[in-house]
């Protein structure tokens, strides 16, 4: 008898996960008690080139049992390509289980990438020029980019220091007034 995946499998993984991060266990049943099982990925999102796969599988219980199992993990390639903000943040992983007699079954494992709040990395220095007789409320510069990969985050900015008349001033009380 062939091995059979009895369940569908759904997992999630945090974006930017390290290579080797464990995602979940899949298992298949086999009525033949003396079978050994091997698991392999056929494709991910229909991509059949394994060098571009973000996930891998390792058999964990594949010898002389009625159920074979494998763990799904993040690959070395995957550690740099699991980004919630990317257009592709859900993966359909086609996995095959094969017994020692060559009989097989296939299932699709769905893995979604979870968003993680990533710190902004803004440009630390911005230079803006303004005329000495500019009216109050004159816009100094726009935009100040946050460098935050989380596109829906909002940010507050405080002017911490500025230079005028060849002197540098510090903003120690969060006021926005020039001396």
Please provide the DSSP assignment of 100-130 as one string.
Answer: TTS-EEEEEEEEEEEP--PPP---S------
- Predicted pLDDT of residue 176: 47
Residue 107, CA distances (Å) to 42, 69, 145 in order = 10, 13, 44
Sequence-ordered strand ranges (E) for the chain: 9-14, 22-29, 37-44, 55-61, 67-74, 90-99, 104-114, 161-164, 167-170
Q: How far is Cα of residue 97 from the mean position of the Cα atoms in its chain?
A: 27
**Do residues 30 and 96 lie in contact, with contact meaning Cβ atoms separated by under 8 Å?**
no
For residue 139, give Cα distances in angstroms to 42, 99, 117, 156: 56, 70, 30, 16
- 121-171 tens-digit pLDDT: 766 666 777 777 888 777 766 666 666 676 676 766 666 666 666 666 565
- CA–CA separation, 80 vs 76, rounded Å? 8
Q: How does DSSP classify residue 4? A: B
d(CA 107, CA 70): 13
* Prediction pTM value: 0.71
User: Cα separation of 47 and 15, whole Å?
Assistant: 20
Report the candidate in 15, 13, 74 with the shortest Cα–Cα distance to residue 41: 74
Residue 176 burial (CB count, 10 A):
8
- Spans of the chain, pLDDT less than 70: 33, 61-67, 122-126, 140-148, 150-151, 153, 155-179
Ramachandran angles phi, psi of 78, nearest 5°: -65, -30
């Amino acid at each position: 008898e062939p091995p059979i995946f009895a369940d569908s499998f759904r997992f999630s993984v945090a974006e930017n996960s390290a290579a080797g991060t464990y995602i979940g266990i899949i298992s298949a049943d086999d009525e033949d008690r003396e079978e050994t099982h091997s698991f392999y990925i056929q494709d991910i999102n229909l991509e059949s080139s394994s060098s571009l796969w973000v996930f891998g599988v390792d058999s964990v219980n594949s010898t002389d049992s009625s159920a074979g199992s494998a763990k799904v993990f993040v690959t070395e390639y995957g550690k740099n390509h699991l980004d919630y903000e990317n257009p592709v943040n859900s993966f359909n992983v086609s996995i095959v289980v094969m017994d020692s007699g060559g009989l097989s079954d296939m299932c699709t494992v769905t893995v979604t990438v979870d968003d993680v709040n990533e710190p902004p990395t803004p440009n630390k220095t911005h230079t803006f020029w303004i005329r000495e007789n500019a009216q109050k409320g004159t816009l100094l510069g726009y935009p100040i980019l946050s460098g935050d990969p989380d596109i829906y985050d909002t940010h507050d900015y405080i002017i911490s220091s500025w230079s005028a008349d060849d002197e540098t001033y510090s903003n120690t009380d969060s006021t926005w007034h020039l001396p």
